[in-house]
C-alpha cells in the first residue's frame, strides 16, 4: 500500500463552473437560485463541500460512507481562514500541509473525528485560534486531539521543549491513541518535504524520526507509515547507500521476473486445486527492507567462501490472503507438502500475535532451482491490521461505568501493553534529559518477547531483557527481594538474557530463619544490577533503592555470638595434646593440614615431613596424594577419642551464593550464632552475580561442623556449603539428607551440605548461565 499525499488543491479551479464563464447573477432570480440549490442537494444526497476537499472526501467515503462531511467542510474552512497568508518552507500555502496530513489519515481509514482534528492540528500552535474556540466549535474530543499534538513553546521550556512535547504527546496517547496517529502522519508529510530544510535540520529531524517516531509506528502496527518513514530517513542519513540500493531495485524491475511471479502462479493453481479460496500476490520489498537483506547476504559467505550477492527472490515476498483462520493453516499445509520448507523459518503469529497486534504465518520454501522464497499467510482482517495497525481497530470509545472491559485485552487501541508500561516509568523521570534517554533506550528494541513464569503468568518484555527486568516487571517488591532466577528449570544468573518462550522463576528472599524482623526489609539490589537492567522501569526502581539506601559496610564479628562461651586462651609455651595418634610413632609432632583441614570423624592419613613431624591429610586430599606420589610413606593414623573434649579443631568452609548486599554480614552472624569463632574470611570477586566465601573457623567440638554448615545454608542466597579438597565420592550432600549422595564404600562420610540445587561451579558458561538442571531451592520461594 502506498500512501499518496494528494496535490496542493487550494486556489486551483477544479470544476467547469469555476473554470468557465459564469452566468450573471441577474439572469436568475433568488427564488430560482434557491430551487436550483435544493435540487442539487437532493440529487447528490449530501451537502456540498469545498472543492479542495473533493479528493479527500472520495477517499474518506470508501472507508466511512456515513461520515459527517459537513463537519469536515466546516473544519477545513476554519483551518484555511486561520492559516491564510502563511507559507511553508517550500513556498506553498500552509493549508496544503494539514490537507496532506488529513489525506494520509483518510487513506489509512481514520474516522471523521480524527480527520477533523488533523485539519485543525496546527491552528492552536501557529495561529490565533485558541483551544477553547476549537472545543466550542467541534467538541472536547477534537480539542483533546489537537491539544495532544500541539508543541510546547521553547520560550517556556527552552532546550527541554522537544522532550517535554513528546512526554505530553505520550501521556495524551495513553488516553487516546489517535494523538500519536495524527503525529505520525504529520511527521510523514514533513519528511516528504524535508529537502526544503537546512542540511543540519534535515539530519536532526531524521535522527529523531529514526529513534522515536519509527519505533512508535512499529509499536502501533502502522507498517505503511513505518516503511515510508524508514526509506526517507535512510535517504537522508545514508544517501550513498540509499542510491546503491535504489539502483539495484531499478535494475531488478527492468528485468523479467523469473522467480516470484511464476511461483505465485503455481501456488495459486495449487491452492485452487485444493479448494482453498486465496489471493496470491507478490509484495516488493521497500528500500530499507531490501538493504537489510543485502547486509545479511554480505555477512553470510557462499559455498566458495565469498560473500553472496542479491538473489532474485530477495526483492520481494509472496502474500497469501484467505478468508478464515483455518485457511491459513491449510495454505501452510499445501506449501510444506509441495515444496521443501526451510527449518527454523516458520513463525506462527496467528496463534501468538505480536505485541503490535500483527498476525500472520511466516514460512520459507526452497524451489527446484535452489531459490528460497518467503511466504506470508493471513486473513483479510489480519492484512488490514498488519498494514494500518490500531487505525484498523476504529476510533476508541472511552469505557463508561456500565461497560465491561478486559484489562488483559491486548487489542485495546487506546492502551496497548507497551504504552501502559511506558507511561508508568515516565512519571518517575521528571528530568527531561533522563526521560529522553530512557525513551530512546526503551524504543531501541524493535521487537518484544514473551516469557512465561512457572506459575503461568505471561510477561511481555523488550528483546534483550534480562532476569532483572523480569523480576521488576513482576513488581517492585519482587525485584528488590530477588536473589536469583531459574530459566527453563535451570539455575541461572540474573544477568541472563531471556529468549522468546522461556519459562522463568524469580527466586526471592524468604522470611528470616529466626522468625524475627530481619526479613521485613529486603536486602535490595546491588549497583551491579544497573549494568544488567534493560528496561527503564527496572533501572529507575534500582536507582531509587540505591539512593534511599546508601551503601553500608558489613560488620564482621570474628568471635562467638553474645551469650556463647569464648574459646579458652592458650598461654605461651602451653602445649596442647595431639588430636591424632600415629601408629609406630607415639611421640611424633602432628600437624593437621591447612589445605583440607581434617576434623573428626574424617578418614585421615599421615605423611612424614621435615623435622620428624607428621602431616595429617584427609584421605583423598590432592596434596596428600602428591606426597605419596613423591615417595613419602603413608602412615596409619587415628583420631584420639579421649582428647576430643579438650581439643579444638579448625575447618575451612566454602559458601557459594548468589551475590547480594549484606551477604557477608549475614553469613558471619550465622557462624557466630553457632558459637564458632572465625579465624579468617575471604570473599572472591563476584562473577555472573555469583560469589564464593571462604571461612576458616575454630570449632568448639567436632560435632558442631554439620550444624554450622546447615546454619550457613539457611542464609538467603546461599545454595552450596562444602569443604575444600573433598575426596572423590565424599563431596556431596550430607549422608541421609534428602536422599543425597552417599560416600564410597569403606569411606566414612565427609560433611558437604548443599541446598536442593546443583552447585553452579562448572555448569554455567560466561554470558549464558544456562547450566545443568538443579532442583528447586529448599529455603527460598519463587514468584
Residues with a catalytic annotation lie at 125-126
Of 278, 373, 370, 250, the residue nearest 317 (C-alpha): 373
CB 494 within 8 A of CB 482: yes
User: For residues 639 and 581, what is the distance between their CA atoms, to the nearest angstrom?
Assistant: 6
Q: 403, exposed or middle or buried, with CB in 10 Å at 0-12, 13-18, 19+?
A: exposed
User: For residues 275 and 708, what is the distance between their CA atoms, to the nearest angstrom?
Assistant: 74
* DSSP three-state, residue 679: strand
Helix (H) or strand (E) run with residue 485 in it: strand 482-487
CB 224 within 8 A of CB 108: yes
User: For residues 222 and 185, what is the distance between their CA atoms, to the nearest angstrom?
Assistant: 10
Q: Which ranges of 427-465 would DSSP assign to H, the alpha helix? A: 432-444
- Relative orientation angle of helices 178-192 and 161-175, to the nearest 10 degrees: 130
Q: Which ranges of 459-535 would DSSP assign to H, the alpha helix? A: 467-473, 476-481
* DSSP three-state, residue 528: helix
Of 418, 396, 416, 422, the residue nearest 167 (C-alpha): 422
Cα 59 to Cα 3, 43, 53, 63: the distances in Å are 11, 21, 10, 7
* DSSP three-state, residue 153: coil
For the chain, how far is it from start to end, CA to CA, in angstroms? 46
User: For residues 324 and 95, what is the distance between their CA atoms, to the nearest angstrom?
Assistant: 43
Q: How many Cβ atoms are within 10 Å of 342's Cβ, its own excluded?
A: 14
Q: Is the backbone of residue 611 left (phi > 0), alpha (psi -120 to 50) or beta?
A: left
User: For residues 263 and 271, what is the distance between their CA atoms, to the nearest angstrom?
Assistant: 12
DSSP state of 211: I
User: For residues 228 and 248, what is the distance between their CA atoms, to the nearest angstrom?
Assistant: 18
Amino acid at each position: 500500500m502506498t500512501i499518496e499525499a494528494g496535490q496542493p488543491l487550494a486556489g486551483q479551479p477544479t470544476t467547469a463552473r469555476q473554470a468557465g464563464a459564469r452566468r450573471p447573477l441577474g439572469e436568475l432570480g433568488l427564488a430560482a437560485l434557491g430551487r436550483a440549490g435544493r435540487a442539487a442537494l437532493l440529487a447528490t444526497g449530501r451537502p456540498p463541500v469545498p472543492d479542495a476537499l473533493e479528493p479527500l472526501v472520495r477517499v474518506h467515503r470508501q472507508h466511512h460512507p456515513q461520515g459527517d462531511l459537513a463537519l469536515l467542510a466546516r473544519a477545513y474552512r476554519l483551518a484555511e481562514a486561520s492559516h491564510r497568508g502563511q507559507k511553508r518552507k517550500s513556498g506553498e500555502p500552509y493549508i496544503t500541509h494539514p490537507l496532506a496530513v488529513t489525506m494520509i489519515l483518510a487513506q489509512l481509514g481514520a474516522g471523521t473525528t480524527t480527520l477533523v482534528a488533523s485539519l485543525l492540528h496546527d491552528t492552536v500552535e501557529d495561529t490565533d485560534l485558541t483551544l477553547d474556540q476549537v472545543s466550542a466549535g467541534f467538541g472536547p474530543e477534537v480539542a483533546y486531539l489537537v491539544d495532544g499534538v500541539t508543541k510546547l513553546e521553547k520560550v517556556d521550556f527552552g532546550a527541554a521543549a522537544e522532550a517535554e512535547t513528546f512526554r505530553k504527546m505520550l501521556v495524551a496517547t495513553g488516553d487516546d491513541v489517535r494523538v500519536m496517529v495524527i503525529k505520525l502522519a504529520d511527521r510523514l508529510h514533513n519528511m516528504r518535504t524535508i529537502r526544503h530544510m537546512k542540511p543540519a535540520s534535515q539530519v536532526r529531524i531524521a535522527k529523531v524520526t529514526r529513534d522515536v517516531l519509527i519505533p512508535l509506528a512499529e509499536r502501533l502496527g502502522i507498517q505503511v507509515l513505518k516503511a515510508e518513514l524508514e526509506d526517507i530517513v535512510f535517504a537522508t542519513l545514508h544517501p550513498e547507500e540509499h542510491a546503491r540500493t535504489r539502483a539495484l531495485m531499478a535494475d531488478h524491475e527492468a528485468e523479467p521476473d523469473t522467480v516470484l511471479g511464476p511461483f505465485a502462479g503455481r501456488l495459486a493453481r495449487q491452492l485452487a486445486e485444493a479448494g482453498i479460496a486465496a489471493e496470491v500476490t507478490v509484495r516488493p520489498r521497500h528500500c530499507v527492507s531490501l538493504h537489510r537483506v543485502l547486509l545479511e547476504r554480505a555477512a553470510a559467505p557462499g559455498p566458495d567462501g565469498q560473500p553472496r550477492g542479491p538473489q532474485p527472490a530477495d526483492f520481494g515476498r509472496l502474500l497469501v490472503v484467505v478468508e478464515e483462520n483455518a485457511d491459513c493453516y491449510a495454505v501452510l499445509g499445501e506449501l510444506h507438502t509441495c515444496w521443501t520448507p526451510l527449518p527454523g523459518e516458520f513463525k506462527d503469529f496467528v496463534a501468538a500475535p505480536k505485541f503490535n497486534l500483527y498476525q500472520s504465518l511466516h514460512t520459507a520454501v526452497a524451489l527446484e532451482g535452489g531459490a528460497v522464497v518467503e511466504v506470508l499467510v493471513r486473513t483479510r482482517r489480519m492484512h488490514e491490521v498488519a498494514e494500518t495497525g490500531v487505525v484498523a481497530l476504529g476510533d476508541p470509545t472511552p469505557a463508561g461505568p456500565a461497560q465491561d472491559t478486559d484489562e488483559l485485552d491486548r487489542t485495546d487501541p487506546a492502551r496497548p501493553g507497551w504504552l501502559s508500561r511506558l507511561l508508568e516509568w515516565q512519571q518517575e523521570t521528571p528530568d527531561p534529559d533522563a526521560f529522553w534517554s530512557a525513551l530512546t533506550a526503551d524504543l531501541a528494541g524493535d521487537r518484544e518477547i514473551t516469557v512465561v513464569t512457572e506459575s503461568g503468568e505471561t510477561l511481555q518484555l523488550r528483546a534483550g531483557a534480562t532476569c532483572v527486568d523480569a523480576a521488576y516487571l513482576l513488581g517492585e517488591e519482587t525485584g528488590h527481594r530477588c536473589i536469583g532466577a531459574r530459566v527453563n528449570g535451570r539455575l541461572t544468573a540474573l544477568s541472563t538474557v531471556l529468549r522468546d518462550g522461556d519459562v522463568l522463576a524469580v527466586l526471592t528472599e524468604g522470611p528470616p530463619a529466626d522468625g524475627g524482623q530481619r526479613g521485613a526489609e529486603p536486602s535490595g539490589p546491588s549497583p551491579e544490577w544497573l549494568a544488567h537492567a534493560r528496561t527503564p522501569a527496572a533501572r529507575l526502581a534500582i536507582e531509587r533503592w540505591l539512593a534511599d539506601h546508601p551503601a553500608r559496610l558489613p560488620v564482621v564479628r570474628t568471635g562467638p555470638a553474645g551469650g556463647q562461651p569464648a574459646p579458652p586462651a592458650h598461654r605461651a609455651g602451653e602445649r596442647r595434646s595431639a588430636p591424632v595418634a600415629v601408629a609406630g610413632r607415639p611421640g611424633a609432632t602432628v600437624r593437621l593440614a591447612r589445605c583440607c583441614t581434617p576434623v573428626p570423624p574424617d578418614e585421615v592419613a599421615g605423611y612424614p615431613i621435615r623435622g620428624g613431624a607428621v602431616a595429617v591429610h584427609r584421605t583423598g586430599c590432592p596434596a596428600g596424594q602428591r606426597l605419596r606420589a613423591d615417595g613419602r610413606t603413608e602412615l596409619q593414623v587415628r583420631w584420639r577419642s579421649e582428647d576430643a573434649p579438650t581439643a579444638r579443631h579448625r575447618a575451612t568452609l566454602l559458601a557459594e551464593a548468589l551475590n547480594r548486599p549484606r551477604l557477608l554480614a549475614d553469613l558471619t552472624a550465622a557462624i557466630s550464632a553457632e558459637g564458632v569463632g572465625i579465624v579468617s574470611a575471604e570473599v572472591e570477586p563476584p562473577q555472573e552475580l555469583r560469589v564464593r566465601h571462604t571461612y576458616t573457623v575454630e570449632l568448639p567440638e567436632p560435632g558442631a561442623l554439620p550444624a554450622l554448615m546447615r546454619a550457613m545454608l539457611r542464609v538467603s542466597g546461599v545454595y552450596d556449603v562444602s569443604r575444600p579438597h573433598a575426596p572423590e565420592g565424599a563431596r556431596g550432600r550430607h549422608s541421609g539428607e534428602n536422599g543425597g549422595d552417599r560416600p564410597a564404600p569403606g569411606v566414612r562420610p565427609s560433611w558437604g551440605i548443599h541446598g536442593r540445587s546443583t552447585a553452579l561451579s562448572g555448569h554455567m558458561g560466561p554470558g549464558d548461565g544456562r547450566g545443568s538442571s538443579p532442583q528447586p531451592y529448599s529455603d527460598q520461594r519463587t514468584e
